[in-house]
Structures are given as structure tokens and as C-alpha cells.
Structure 1
Amino acid sequence: MNKFEFVAPCHFGLEAVLKKEILDLGYEIVSVEDGKVTFTGGVDAICRSNIFLRTTERVLLKVAKFKAETFEELFEKTKLIPWENYIPVDGKFWVAKATSIKSKLFSPSDIQSIMKKAMVERLKVKYNVSWFEESGMEFPIRVTFMKDEVTIGIDTSGASLHKRGYRKLVSKAPITETLAAALIMLTPWNKDRILVDPFCGSGTIPIEAAMIGANIAPGMNRSFLSESWTHLIPKKTWYAAIEEAHSLIKEDVELNIQGYDMDGEIVKAARENAKLAGVDQYIHFQQRSVSDLSHPKKYGFIITNPPYGERLEEKEELPKLYKEIGRTFNALDSWSYYIITSYEDVQKYIGRQADKNRKIYNGMLKTYFYQFMGPKPPRPKKEFEN
């Protein structure tokens, strides 16, 4: 079986979560760096990682890694890559994205242009043609420069993997599906525990939790760019991965997940999104403010993404809001609660120091995942026979 290397990018600060997911799929880790995990696998890894991974943004088929400090060096080394092993004669290929950090070559448009020329020159010779129609399958290339080291990959996913296909309606400041899944996976929550999101917006955190609880693969209801690469991936490999995903769903699972929001319209949208995700039966959505939050059960989890106050007029309201959050959450004194926000005075206004605080970059925005742990519930007593 041919082995390939893959690069899976993720939010900065969530590499360990993604690494565990990849290991759980049975693939070998090559490296873990800021914002990405590199791993190896056969051609089946393209299908399975796209369908099963909850916390990566996309899966790149890595084709080369080298050092380049000049455009001439970039051209020559790009030209040496065996592009004909991946791209057929009628394939459409382009450098979709170029990023550069602390490198001598930093202009994305120049990098894209030079690399495309090098690819064309290579494939002209290999296919003995002078012009490419580019009417067939698509092969978007992504390249990153880090301290003059170049990593080149072909995007197998297409639309970002956070686009699961269920979120047709969104709230004002939605959290991405990949980030929501990662936050849940950073906590000890499991399908047997209560989960409440009192700022649920369009329902992303409760929906991702329900999908995790019912073991529904995040990529089951969408398509991927590499599905058309039949010269590299047999159709039966995709069918096998989808069949595997269906076989792992826990149809009879019982979940206690609730989502609340003050905005009645956005609560309706959350219900619709949950229906599209196939998890509406597991989640109770209700219009309710955070100050009205209470629960009869003694132990539970709150995982939430409250307003950050990105606009000036909203910032002035934040002390009042976070005091209210503190009063409400602290009244549930045996619960654990987890808050992601860019607001740095959370602990001051909640009135309690977080047990853990993890820095996570949501795009370019630095956020903090504050973790306030409640006591562990007692183990259920075992019944012994006489």
C-alpha cells in the first residue's frame, strides 16, 4: 500500500486534540507544530480523515518540503516535484493560497505566479503538450513558508471542513463547528452527562456535542473535492469510509443537551440547524436569558461562547454581563463550566479564578478557554448479588 503524508491544519492551541483524533483513526503522527499536525496513511486516509476528523479545517496531501530563499530556487524546486503523479493532463491546477511567516519570499501573488509557471513547465514536458485546457478535476495547491522552509500540499477537502452542511442559519458572532467540537473534546464531558449552553446562538456547541455523543461523523453529509480524483482514490474506498461511518452511529443513545438564547428567532434557527444535522431529538432549545438558568440535577457541564464585546458599545456592557454569568453559574455549585471569550476580565467579574485557562487563536483573535471545575459526581454504587 502506498503511504502518503498529510497535513491537517487547526486552530492554534488545539493541536493536541487533533493529534489524538488522528491517532484514534489509526494513523501515524509525523510532527505536531503550531496550527498543524502532519501524519501518514494510505489512500484511505484521504477519505477517512475528511469524514471523521472533527477539529481540522482541511486535509492536505503533502507533496514536498524544501528550503527556498529566492524565486529562482522556488521555481526550480517546484519544477522537480512529480506533479504528473497527482494531476492528469486535463486537470485544473492553481496555487489557491500562499502564506509566508519570517521568510525572505513573502509576496503571495509572486509566490503563486512562480509556482504555477514551474508546474506548467514540468507538466508540458511530461505530457508532451504546449497548452493545458484545465477542464477536468480540480487540484488547488496550498503553500506555506516558515523561516524559508516551504511546505506544499494539494487540498483534498474543497470547502473548509467546518462547513458540515447543517448550519444554514447563523447568529451574529458564530463559533466555527471545528472549534466548538474541539472545546467539547477538551472537557471531560461525555454522553452520560448533562450539557447546557446558555448562549447557544445558532446551536453549534449543542449540535457538535450531540454529534459526538451519538458518534455521528462530521463529514457524513457533505462532499469533498477529492471524491472526483478517481485516478488516485477508487470510488470503493469512499464507499467503505461512508459505510464505516454509518456503522458507528449510536442509534439508541440517550443525551441530555440543552441550548438557551435570549433571541427567539435565533433559537428557531438553532432548531432548524439541529434538524439538518440529524440530532434535533437529542437537544432541547429554549428562549431564556442566562439569569434564568437553573437546573434540578446536581452535576452537569456548561460549555459556552458568550459575547466578547468586539464593538465599543458592547464592551461597556461586559462587566454587568459577566457578573450575571458568575452569579448564575456559581449558584450551580457542583457543576463544571467552560467559557471561551476574548474578554480578559472574566475571572474578575465572575468572582472566581479558573482552574485552567487555555489560549486559543480563533483566526487572528486571541481567545481564552476558561475552565472552572466542579466536584466529580460520586460513582454509582454497584449492586452485589446475595
Structure 2
Amino acid sequence: MDKIELIAPCHFGLEAVLKREIQALGYEISSTEDGRVSFYGDLSAVCRANIFLRTAERVLLKAGEFKAETFDELFEKTREIPWENYIPENGKFWVAKAASVKSKLFSPSDIQSIMKKAIVRRLQSSYHKEWFEEDGASYPLRVFLKKDMVTVGIDTSGISLHKRGYREVSGKAPITETLAAALIMLTPWRGDRILVDPFCGSGTFPIEAAMMAADIAPGMNRSFTAEDWTNLLPKKMWYEAVDEAESRIKANIETDIQGYDIDGDVIRIARRNAREAGVDHLIHFQERNVRDLRHSGKYGFIITNPPYGERLEDKKDLPQLYRTFGESFAGLDTWSAYMITSYEDAQRYFGRKADKNRKIYNGMLKTYFYQFLGPKPPKKNNSRMDGC
């Protein structure tokens, strides 16, 4: 298998960010669709994509794609896929998820059952066995049907990639690590610039930013389903990918990344999470109200996920909270602010219309990524004068 195609699902609306990440790893994009990006690579791309991609939800090995309008077609075309190239004789396999959009076949349970039977039939023929113990490595399948086109992927990740391994305990209304990373990448922020999150909760924005600044790969401290696929991926490939990740870490950088929250218990959780991620020395967390938001530096960034009234009784406090946030930001006259929220009146009470506004789905929740842009910092003069 010299060349394979991989599928990386992501948050709707953030495909361009993931596409840039994949290209930066050196891989060729094969297609971009709503909520996923596909690309070509060799088998080592499975390891590198899982370890390095910050904005992908998981990495799927594409096993096949075909059109099916009836369950008979689904069965026969699933059986035509050379499953013996992927699943060993003792492999455990099942259709973990089936999703259907604008297709004649729409029952997930029926799709899952029929495809499982078709794979069994294929493997019975290939391995000349009637019964499989399925006591070996796991090969969970994920299937997408869109306009009767069936795309079949084998999940190499297992637990979603937003589970970096540093956040066992979350604060209230957490934002996922993959979404936080993608939103930071939508801004011009870089590791040598100031970043403050005045509603940091369990610390996801500051931690993801610090990991980017130090070039710490997000998948370094977790495991993946495909690590057990020794029939496809030698352990050496995983060791090489981890070695590459370790060689890229910038150990001696300095940053100005800060996280504030009014809840002291949540700040303690954020500090613990930062320690687990190995970036606690790069972040300053503090119990602080948003009305006390201030900084002596210029041209900084606020990137945050403020409360948006998940519970009905909280909604009455939102106008004053956003008003206070806007007033504090107004005092930072050279700064830029970026906030993700589902609160429809955010701009009204913030006191300023966003320069840019991007609709993003956080799970099933429609949110907006408001961008309030400050002036660009003056360019640094790198020229040197003789005699100085």
C-alpha cells in the first residue's frame, strides 16, 4: 500500500484551516467537502496525521467509495472492497457509525447491519473460514452516505482527536480543543504576541496557544486505535512520528499568554490541565473579573469563549456581562478581540459591530466567531546602520 487516501473530519466551516494544516505536513489534498478534508499519503501519514493535526476530529483510512440506492447494492459493493487488505483474520470489525444525507438509504442501523454481513462474507471467502473470533485489534468503520454516494473509512484514531489527554476535568460550557485550535489559527496571532482569554474556563484557548507557540504536537501524549494494526503499520512508524514531534519542541521560548476567570475553582482546573499539557510555565492563570481586564502591552489579542446563557436563568446576566467586556476591551486601544458565542445580542451589548463575523457549528449549536480588529503593529526595522 504505497499510496493511500485518508479522510479527516472537522468542524463545519473550518475546512480551510484543516486543509492548510494537512498541506503543511506535506500531503496532497484530494477533496474538500462540508465537514471533512481528504488527502493522499503513504502509510506513515496515518501516524503523522494523528499526532500532528490540531483541527481534525479523527483520521480515517478510506477503504472504498461507491453509489448505492438499494440495500442489495450496498451489500454487493461493500463485499467488493478488498477487506482482507485491511482486516486480519482475527481482527475485530464493526460499523461504529453510519450517517446519511439526501440518500435513499437512511436507516443507520440497517446500513450498519448489512455492511457488517457483507464484510463477513468477503472475509469468509478470503480466509476460507466460516467463523471469526474477532479477538484481535479493532477496526471500527465509519460510513457517510450523501446523495447515494457511500464513503467507507476505517477509523485510525479511536477516541476523538480533541481528547489530547490533558483535560480530564472541564469547567462549565467547555470548548473542544480542536475547535479552540482552529479558531486561534483563524487569527493573525503568533507565539511572540500577547494573548489573553478573560473567560478561560478550564484553560483550553491558552493551553492550545501555548502548545502552538512551543510546537508541541497535540497527539504526543495519547494512544490511537491504529497503533495495534501491526498488519499495516509497523511500530517503527509510530516511533518515528513521535521522534519527529519531540525534535520540533521549542523548549526555551518565552510567551505572554494569560487566562482569567472569575471562578477560582475553575482556575485551579486550568492550571492542572496546563501542567498535564506541559505548558504551565508558558501561561499565567489568574482569578479575575472581566471588568479588571487590562494589560500594559500593545497590539495584543483577546481570544475567548464568553458565557452565552446555556441555562435560562443565566440569560438575564448576559447584557451586563457583554457590556462590561466591551468597556474593558475599549481601554485596550491597539488590541484585537475574537470571541465565539451563540448569544444573538453579543455585538449590541459589546458596543461595537464586528469587523468580521464567521458562522461556525459547535456540535449542533450555531455560534458566531466575532472578530474586532485593532490596528496592525508597525513593522520592525531590521536594517543595520554602519558604525552603530
- Range into which the TM-score falls when normalised by the shorter chain: over 0.9
Give the AA of the match of 1:364: M
Q: Which residue of 2 aligns with 1:189?
A: 189
Q: Which residue of 1 aligns with 2:22?
A: 22
Q: Which digits, 9 at most, give the CA deviation of each residue in 1:68-94, with x for residues without a partner? A: 111111001001000000000000000
CA distance in 2, matches of 1:136, 1:162: 26
Q: How much does 1:380 deviate?
A: 2.7
The secondary structure found in structure 1 opposite 2:216 is coil
Q: How much does 1:100 deviate?
A: 0.7
Q: Which residue of 2 aligns with 1:313?
A: 313
Is 1:348 matched up with 2:353? no
Q: Which residue of 1 aligns with 2:138?
A: 138
Give the AA of the match of 1:93: F
- TM-score, normalised with respect to structure 2: 0.98
Q: How much does 1:311 deviate?
A: 1.8
Give the AA of the match of 1:372: F
Once the two structures are superposed, the pairs formed by residues 322-341 of structure 1 within 5 Å of their partners are 322-341=322-341
CA distance in 2, matches of 1:153, 1:265: 41
Q: Which residue of 2 aligns with 1:61?
A: 61
The secondary structure found in structure 1 opposite 2:119 is helix
CA distance in 2, matches of 1:93, 1:357: 43
CA distance in 1, matches of 2:386, 2:73: 76
Once the two structures are superposed, the pairs formed by residues 169-248 of structure 1 within 5 Å of their partners are 169-248=169-248
CA distance in 1, matches of 2:178, 2:54: 6
The secondary structure found in structure 1 opposite 2:323 is helix
CA distance in 1, matches of 2:304, 2:79: 48
Q: Which digits, 9 at most, give the CA deviation of each residue in 1:192-243, with x for residues without a partner? A: 1000000000000000000000000000011111011111011111111111
Q: Which digits, 9 at most, give the CA deviation of each residue in 1:231-279, with x for residues without a partner? A: 1011111111111000011111111100000000010000000000000
Is 1:168 matched up with 2:172? no
Q: Which digits, 9 at most, give the CA deviation of each residue in 1:147-176, with x for residues without a partner? A: 111100000001100000000220111000
Q: How much does 1:363 deviate?
A: 0.6
Q: How much does 1:353 deviate?
A: 1.2
Deviates more, 1:13-22 or 1:230-239: 230-239
The secondary structure found in structure 1 opposite 2:172 is coil
Q: How much does 1:298 deviate?
A: 2.0
Give the AA of the match of 1:69: E
Is 1:384 matched up with 2:366? no
Deviates more, 1:315-324 or 1:235-244: 315-324
Q: Which digits, 9 at most, give the CA deviation of each residue in 1:341-363, with x for residues without a partner? A: 01121111111111111111111
Q: Which digits, 9 at most, give the CA deviation of each residue in 1:293-338, with x for residues without a partner? A: 1111122000000011122211222111111111111111110000
Give the AA of the match of 1:315: K
Runs (4 or more) in structure 1 with deviation over 3 Å come to none
Give the AA of the match of 1:163: K
CA distance in 1, matches of 2:65, 2:117: 18
Q: Which residue of 2 aligns with 1:291?
A: 291
Deviates more, 1:89-98 or 1:346-355: 346-355
How many residues get paired?
A: 386
The secondary structure found in structure 1 opposite 2:125 is helix
CA distance in 2, matches of 1:352, 1:172: 27
Q: Which residue of 1 aligns with 2:358?
A: 358
The secondary structure found in structure 1 opposite 2:39 is strand
Q: Percent identity?
A: 70
The secondary structure found in structure 1 opposite 2:273 is helix
Q: Which residue of 2 aligns with 1:249?
A: 249
Q: Which residue of 2 aligns with 1:97?
A: 97
CA distance in 2, matches of 1:385, 1:269: 53
Q: How much does 1:24 deviate?
A: 0.1
RMSD value, Cα = 0.8
Q: Which residue of 1 aligns with 2:278?
A: 278
The secondary structure found in structure 2 opposite 1:317 is helix
Give the AA of the match of 2:377: P
CA distance in 1, matches of 2:353, 2:16: 24
The secondary structure found in structure 1 opposite 2:322 is helix
Is 1:39 matched up with 2:70? no
Unmatched runs of 5 consecutive residues or more in structure 2: none
Q: Which residue of 1 aligns with 2:106?
A: 106
